[in-house]
């Protein structure tokens, strides 16, 4: 694995955690360091960090608050 890639993985705790939970990525990144972008996308997808996931969570929270307020009145 390239030194630059190792630095990227060490800098972000989310990358380290995801790499430990999904060890298949060790092999993939060692053999194909150019697949780091794919690794980032997989991590964002699995941890629900994409903008669409955040919007969905915000809408769910808004729906819960709306329902609570309707039930209180």
* DSSP letter assigned to residue 41: H
pTM check: above 0.85: no
Structure-token match 């039930």, residue found: 71
CA 54, CA 51: separation in Å to the nearest integer?
5
Confidence of residue 63 (pLDDT cuts 50, 70, 90): confident
Confidence of residue 2 (pLDDT cuts 50, 70, 90): confident
Domain span holding position 63: 3-72
Looking at the structure of the chain, the number of domains it has is 1
State residue 9's pLDDT score. Answer: 92
Is a pLDDT exceeding 90 seen at residue 24? yes
For 36, other C-beta atoms within 10 Å of its C-beta total: 19
> What's the pLDDT at 42?
95
């Amino acid at each position: 694995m390239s030194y630059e890639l190792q630095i990227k993985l060490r800098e972000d705790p989310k990358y380290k955690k995801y790499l430990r939970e999904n060890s298949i990525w060790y092999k993939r990144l060692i053999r194909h360091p150019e697949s780091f972008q794919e690794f980032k996308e997989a991590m964002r997808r699995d941890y629900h960090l994409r903008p669409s996931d955040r919007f969905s969570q915000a809408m769910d929270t808004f729906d819960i608050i709306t329902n609570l307020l309707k039930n209180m009145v």
